[in-house]
Structure 1
Amino acid sequence: MQENNKTWRKPIIRIAQSEHARLSALANTVAARNPEAADELLAELERARIVADGSVTADTVRMGSIVTFKPDTGDRKTVTLVFPGDADISQGKVSILTPIGTALMGLSAGQSIMWTARDGRQHQLLVLQVSQPAPEGDTADQRVPSFSTIATRV
């Protein structure tokens, strides 16, 4: 029986063309001082479906997205995906160069992924909700809700 030997495939991810170019440049820039993070990001970028700018849906994780996910530890977490210079874990700002940041990139609400932590352990997470920050100057609401949200009973 195969239920115990389930093979995990990485989910399809979508990344806007301009963001793909910016993230590729970032990975190439940090490759000398952080080769593991650069290689992991480049591997994700290579498997991504590159789409036209503006055609990435609101429920897709991209830079600046606010993501609620359920890790295999069971506790829901909400983070904002940011570039390394803006990272601050105490404020929930996770760098794209961290293993979990790279794993989240391009996922949509409802997708799950297996990812490897820096200690070599494998983990799984499920994206529950994705929202995008409000445009500059829009103080009425700090988030634009996603088109899809997974039931809160997950």
Structure 2
Amino acid sequence: MTNRTSGGAKPRITLTAIDHEKLTQLAIAATNTFPDVAAELADEVARARVLAKGRQLADAVRMGSEVLFQDEVTGKTTTVTLVYPPEADIAQGKISILTPIGTALIGLSVGQSINWTTRSGDVKRLTVQAVRDPADGSPQSA
């Protein structure tokens, strides 16, 4: 089943309790240095369904997940790993949660799509194709 949304509506997202706690703290801490992205991250965290401690969804993007997504305009697929800012290295495909695309990806499940705005103001749409769990490395795909 595909959970696509139309227009500007955002899909339902799910976070682990640990990610929810850490990302809430990160959004607060980044308010002065990255106000736009920090506000977007705070909005995403606030609207997320939070799982009980110790629970996780195998196909939901969380911190450390490797994500395969498709750009809905170009059809290009990209694989990235979602990380905290100190670990970010675009050359290694590690993108920070404090980037517009990182914030857009968090909490999405396989098959979900979301519109996101680049730093230059362009609106793009992506669909999650697969999520590789950081704990066991097993891929979950549509």
Q: TM-score, normalised by structure 1?
A: 0.84
Can you give the 5+ residue segments of structure 2 that lack an aligned partner in the other structure?
1-5
Q: Does 1:90 align with 2:84?
A: no
Contact 2:17 2:54 in 1 (8 A): no
5 Å matches for 1:46-125? 46-71=46-71, 72-125=73-126
Q: How far is the alpha carbon of 1:46 from its aligned partner?
A: 1.1
Q: TM-score, normalised by structure 2?
A: 0.91
Tell which structure's C-alpha radius of gyration is larger.
1
CA-based RMSD of the aligned residues comes to 1.2
User: Which whole-Å deviations, capped at 9, do the CAs of 1:55-86 have from their partners, x for residues lacking one?
Assistant: 22111000000000001322110000000000
Contact 2:16 2:56 in 1 (8 A): yes
5 Å matches for 1:106-145? 106-134=107-135, 143-145=137-139
Counterparts of 1:83 and 1:46, CA distance in 2 = 18
Which structure has the higher relative contact order (CA within 8 Å, separation 6+)?
Answer: 2
Task: Give the % identical residues.
Answer: 49
- Structure 1 residues 32-41 or 79-88, which shifts more? 32-41
Give the corresponding residue for 1:7: 7
Give the corresponding residue for 1:139: none
Counterparts of 1:84 and 1:73, CA distance in 2 = 27
List structure 1 runs of 4+ shifted beyond 6 angstroms.
none
Counterparts of 1:117 and 1:24, CA distance in 2 = 22
Counterparts of 1:101 and 1:117, CA distance in 2 = 11
Can you give the 5+ residue segments of structure 1 that lack an aligned partner in the other structure?
1-5, 136-142
Give the corresponding residue for 2:3: none
SS at match of 2:133: strand
Counterparts of 1:132 and 1:44, CA distance in 2 = 21
- Structure 1 residues 71-80 or 60-69, which shifts more? 71-80
Q: How far is the alpha carbon of 1:7 from its aligned partner?
A: 3.2
Counterparts of 2:23 and 2:12, CA distance in 1 = 18
Give the corresponding residue for 1:138: none
Q: How far is the alpha carbon of 1:33 from its aligned partner?
A: 1.2
Counterparts of 2:133 and 2:29, CA distance in 1 = 27
Contact 2:80 2:93 in 1 (8 A): yes
